[in-house]
């Protein structure tokens, strides 16, 4: 049975990916999320960089702050109600999905050691740009915020993560005889 699992590469990948997801889910839900330290650090970092980008763009921003009772960081352009960055929107789950895929997919440890942090940084930058864009939407067209938050940026961010997965699978995993096509 074990020989069959290791020889069937797709099944072996799916089992590893599911195992990593289960490990992450337990670690996050039972330990990391209740402490909220990691979530607060990431959310506040997103608010800091988003605020900096908005300031560089000539917008006056409200002072971002974390509402500790709700684990929500508020960021926005002065004169608006701002944007709430909560735990589900801070990108930690995307980091876990990305890292889990790269770890589960074949490839050298050496390549994984540089690709994983690079991908996480890129995902974080994409999330900063998403928050900046949503803050501008709140400023210019607040009635479109819900649609853009729920659909436009969800699709864009997940497409970027999927693109990173394809990049890993096709260029850096060193699995010469298998190429993932879309």
The better pLDDT of the pair 141, 11 is held by 141
The answer to whether position 142 is within a domain reads: yes
The answer to whether position 78 is within a domain reads: yes
The answer to whether position 182 is within a domain reads: no
The better pLDDT of the pair 18, 5 is held by 18
The answer to whether position 28 is within a domain reads: yes
The answer to whether position 118 is within a domain reads: yes
The answer to whether position 84 is within a domain reads: yes
Instruction: Count Cβ atoms below 10 Å from residue 116 Cβ, excluding itself.
Output: 17
Q: What percent of the chain has pLDDT over 90?
A: 58
- Kindly provide the b/e burial profile for residues 123-153, where b requires at least 16 CB atoms within 10 angstroms of the residue's own CB: bbebbbbbbbbbbbbbbeeeeeeeebbeeeb
The answer to whether position 178 is within a domain reads: no
The answer to whether position 116 is within a domain reads: yes
Q: What digits encode the pLDDT tens for the residues 44-84?
A: 899 999 999 999 999 999 877 766 556 788 899 999 999 99
Number of domain units in the chain = 1
Cα separation, 169 vs 164, in Å, equals 9
Q: What digits encode the pLDDT tens for the residues 105-146?
A: 999 999 999 999 999 999 999 999 999 999 999 999 999 999
Tell me the average pLDDT across 80-109. 91
Average pLDDT, the chain: 88
| Closest-CA residue to 76 (of 54, 91, 49, 58) | 54
Distance of CA 139 to the CA centre of its chain: 24
Cα separation, 28 vs 35, in Å, equals 10
pLDDT of 36 strictly over 90: no
What residues make up the domain containing 56?
2-172
Length in residues, the chain: 182
pLDDT in the model for residue 131: 96
């Amino acid at each position: 049975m074990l020989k069959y699992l290791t020889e069937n590469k797709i099944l072996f990948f799916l089992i590893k990916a599911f195992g990593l997801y289960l490990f992450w889910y337990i670690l996050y839900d039972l330990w990391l999320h209740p402490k909220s330290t990691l979530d607060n650090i990431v959310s506040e970092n997103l608010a800091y960089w988003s605020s900096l980008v908005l300031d560089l763009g000539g917008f006056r921003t409200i002072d971002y702050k974390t509402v500790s009772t709700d684990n929500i960081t508020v960021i926005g352009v002065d004169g608006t109600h701002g944007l709430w960055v909560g735990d589900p929107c801070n990108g930690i789950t995307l980091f876990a999905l990305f890292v889990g895929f790269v770890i589960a997919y074949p490839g050298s440890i050496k390549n994984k050691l540089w690709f994983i942090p690079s991908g996480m940084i890129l995902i974080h930058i994409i999330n900063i740009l998403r928050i900046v864009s949503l803050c501008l939407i709140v400023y210019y067209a607040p009635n479109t915020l819900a649609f853009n938050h729920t659909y436009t940026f969800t699709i864009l961010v997940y497409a970027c993560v999927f693109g990173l997965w394809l990049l890993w699978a096709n260029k850096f995993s060193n699995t010469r005889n298998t190429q993932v096509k879309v």
